[in-house]
Structures are given as structure tokens and as C-alpha cells.
A and B are shown apart, each in its own frame.
Chain A
Amino acid sequence: MSLSVQSGQASQLGASAESEQSPPASGAQLVVLLPTPSGDAQADAMSWMYLLTSKQQALDVSNGRDNINRVQEQRAEAYKQEIEAIKQAIEAASHHSFWDSVASVALTIGKVAAVVGSIAVAVGTGGAGVVGVIAVAGALLSSAGFVEGEAHVLEKLGVDEGTATWVGIGLSVGGAACTGGAALAADAGEISATACTIQKVATATTGAAAMAGGAAKIEAGQYQGDQEDALADAAKAQMDQARMQRLLFMILDQLKSSEASDDNTLRALRGALSTKGDTLVLTTSMRA
């Protein structure tokens, strides 16, 4: 693909012909980011045919389903790990009943550890499958945006104004798959750091329980700081996980209704084909 810079009066991406809302124009003259297609799009109708036959769509649905199933299997495995983490947390709590509040924190953290682990599993073994899921998710976000409107679909996905990104959860996951592990390494580092925090809290919990009197109070103070850090990590991870779940459910719903969707697609494309034909006739007439 050509990456040459093309001069233009304004960014194609910046123009907004039918905006629901209009951001202030920058006024700057910017290069066009969308490369010009090769060949004559109007004269070439093979792409229409490809869409009309819908073969690719059927393939995509199949691939998408495989990808989702793979991720679901990974999540099932992560669930087992979560149960194990919870058991361990309960075990630890039973030895130190004085730390009831700590036990509840440990439970939360144990769950989060599994959540983070499930993402790690997806990253570690998902590879191209994860990229496929992100692509399906992006397409889903787009189609739902056109059908339901931006605000509605984002609300359904649990994304508010303050949330950085939703697809961003797919983040370095996609990057890892594409870079052959460089981004994965970074991601693993973050996960590892979180795990360290969790481990630190667990250690502090066990250690503090064994102490007596003032020493325990001092340790409790240290623990408080670790706990707050860990809870902050936990809250973020839980939010991400909740959004990921919504996303997966939406994708599954979409795949289930793919046949109906294909029918609608064909109808829309036939309408567009007719319009394109009319345009060509008009163009030809004007040239003649």
C-alpha cells in the first residue's frame, strides 16, 4: 500500500457533511489520509459481485464464530483459575479470622487476578484469533452505530464520556498478535506487575496476621497502602472485563443473526448497485 503523502485542501477525514455534531474546524490544510484506490472504481464492478455473492461474508461469519469459540474456551479455563484463586483466598482467610476485612479484599483480588489471567490467556494463545475478534468487534460497533446511533450503542457497551476507549481493551492484544510478541511482552509486564501487587497484598496479609500488638498495627498501615493500590488496579480490571463480556455477548448475538443480516446486506447492495448503474448512465450520457 502506498504511504505517500498526498496534497489536499482539507482532510477527507475532517469533513463532516451530515454531522450529528460538529467539532470546531481546525482551519489547517491537512494531507489526505485515505489513499486513492488503484484502478477505476466506477468501471470495475467485480467488487460488487463479490459482495453480492456474499461468499466472503459467509466465510467471515464462520471465522468469527471460530474465533469467539476459541476465546470462550480460554475464558472457561480462566474461570477454573478464578475458582482456584478464590479457594486459596478462603483458605488463607480461615487461618486468620482476625483479618475478615482482609479476606474479602483477598477474594476480590483473587477474582481480579483470574480476570487479568484470562486476558493473558487470550493474549498468549489467541494470536490471530484475537485480531479476528477485534475486527468483528469493530465491524459490529460500526454496523450498530449506523443502525442504532452512536450514543445508544456506546451506552449498551458501557462506555461513558470518561472512559478512554472500549475497543482499546483489545489494545495491545491486537498489537501482540501483529508484532509477534513485542507488545505481548509489554502486556505481560503489566500483568506481572499487577500479580506482584496482588502477591504483595497476600504476603502482607499473611505476615501481618502472624504479628502481635503494635507491630501488627504498623504492618496494617503498610497494608492499607498496598490494599488501596491493589483495589485501584482491581477496579480498572473489573471494568475492562465487564466491557469485554458485553462485547463478546454482542458479537455472539450478531453472529446468531448473521443470516438475516446477510439478507439485509444483499438488499442494501442491490439498491446501491442500482444507484451506481444510474450514475454510470448519467456520466456516460454527459460525456457523449
Chain B
Amino acid sequence: MLDAASFVSQFRRDPPGPIETVEKLYGLGHWLLEQERYADAALAFRTMLRSAPDDERSWLALAACHERVGQFRIALELYGAGAAVVPTSVRCQIARARLLRQLGRDSEADDALGRASEVASDLGDDELVRFVEAERKSLCH
């Protein structure tokens, strides 16, 4: 059984730094997401988002929570905001493209993938370029 008191004392003895904290929050939220505790997971990811808005995982993960409960428009907003705040986030663009495609907004999905492709190319990251291409093929099928 987890012992809250020992957590408290450990925290006071050796408080985690900002980077470590963000990783803990992400791990926590990810675990909650796997448990299908979407509202709790969103709570963790919101805290992460406020702490690290320039970490694309904050936006991706929070949007995923809303997508899981069927709040697709909120998810779209969050993916879009993530892509704006983190211009190098190919994943936010891809996630947005997937959702747009699923919602039948094919033209916008193509635009999002196009932007993902541009960003990946600008970054000069071959792996990301292949990633986007694979995504494009998957979504076309």
C-alpha cells in the first residue's frame, strides 16, 4: 500500500526539480490515461501544461484525454494551440490531421499534414519526414 506520509517526508527532504517534476507529471498522467481515468489524467496534464507549455507532450496528452471522452472539438483546439505554441511539433499536427480526417474534414486534414511535412523538412529530421509520409499513406488508405 502506498504510504502518503513517507511521500511527504521524501518530498520535503528531496524536492524534485522542474524537469523531473514535468516527467513525473507526464508519467502519472500517462498511467491514468491507460487506466481510462480521463478526468484525473487531464488534471495531471493540465498541471504539466501550465508548468511546461513548450513541451508538445503537454498539449498532445491533454487533447488525447478529451478525444477519448468524445470531446473532439476541444481536442482539436488543444492540438491547434499546441502546434502554435510549439511550432516544431510535428506530432501535434499529425494528431490534428488524424482527428480532422476522422471527422470527415479531409481538406483541413491534408493541410495539417502538409504543415507537418514542412516542419519536418525544415527541421532536417529524416526520421520525422518518414514519420509524416507514413502517416500520409496510412490516412489515405
A interface vs B, CB < 8 Å?
A: 1, 3-5, 11-31, 33-42, 44-53, 56-57, 60, 63-64, 131-132, 134-139, 141-143, 145-146, 150, 153-154, 159, 165-168, 170-175, 177-179, 183, 265, 268-269, 272-273, 275-277, 279-281
Contacts and interface: CB of A to CB of B under 8 A. Distances in A.
Contacts, number: 258
Contacts of B63: 13
Interface in B1-56: 1-2, 4, 7-8, 10-11, 16, 20-21, 23-28, 30-33, 35-40, 42-47, 49-51, 53-56
Ordered nearest first, which 3 A-B pairs have the shortest CB separation? A47-B24, A19-B70, A20-B70
Given A142-B78, A174-B85, A135 B53 contact: yes
Interface string B66-85: 11111111101110111011
A15 B66 CA distance: 11
Does more than half of chain A's interface fall in helix, strand or loop, or is it mixed?
helix
A28 B141 contact: yes
> Size range of the interface on B?
35 or more
Contacts of A170: 81, 84-85
Given A49-B7, A272-B32, A280 B67 contact: no
Does more than half of chain B's interface fall in helix, strand or loop, or is it mixed?
helix
Contact of B64 (A34, A173, A183): A34
A36 B30 contact: yes
B69 A23 contact: no
Interface of B: 1-2, 4, 7-8, 10-11, 16, 20-21, 23-28, 30-33, 35-40, 42-47, 49-51, 53-74, 76-78, 80-82, 84-87, 90-91, 94-95, 98-99, 101-104, 125, 127-128, 130-131, 134-135, 138-139, 141
A19 B133 CA distance: 29
Contacts of A40: 27
A139 B99 CA distance: 20
